[in-house]
Amino acid sequence: MENWLNLKGEVCAVTGALGGMGVEICREFARNGADVVLLDLDEEKVKTSAAGLADEFGIRAEGYRMDATNEDEVQAAVDAAVAAFGHVDVLVNTAGILRFSPMEDLPLSDFEAVLKVNLTGTFIASQRFGRQMIKQGRGRLVHISTAASYTPETFSGVYSSTKAGVNMLSKMLAAEWGPYGVRSNCVCPCFVKTPMSANFYADPQVEKDRSRLIATRRIGEVTDIANAVMFLASTRSDFTTGAEIMVDGGFSNMMGDLTAKPGGRRAYAENYLKNKGVALWTDEAGVKTPTDQ
- The catalytic site residues sit at 159
Among 75, 244, 70, residue whose Cα is nearest residue 165: 244
Element (H, E) at 200: helix 198-201
DSSP E strands, 198-239: none
- The CA distance from 11 to 29, in Å, is 9
- The CA distance from 35 to 81, in Å, is 11
Spatial contact of 46 and 40, defined as CB atoms under 8 Å apart: yes
The DSSP line for 96-111 is -----B-GGG--HHHH
- The CA distance from 3 to 212, in Å, is 36
Q: Tell me phi and psi for residue 113, to 5 degrees.
A: -65, -45
Q: What is the DSSP letter of 289?
A: S
Put residue 157 in one of left, alpha, beta given phi > 0 → left and psi -120 to 50 → alpha.
Answer: left
Buried b (16+ CB within 10 A) or exposed e, 237-248: beeebbbbbbbb
Q: Tell me phi and psi for residue 151, to 5 degrees.
A: -125, 140
- The CA distance from 74 to 70, in Å, is 6
- CA–chain centroid gap for 238, Å, is 19
- The CA distance from 32 to 8, in Å, is 6
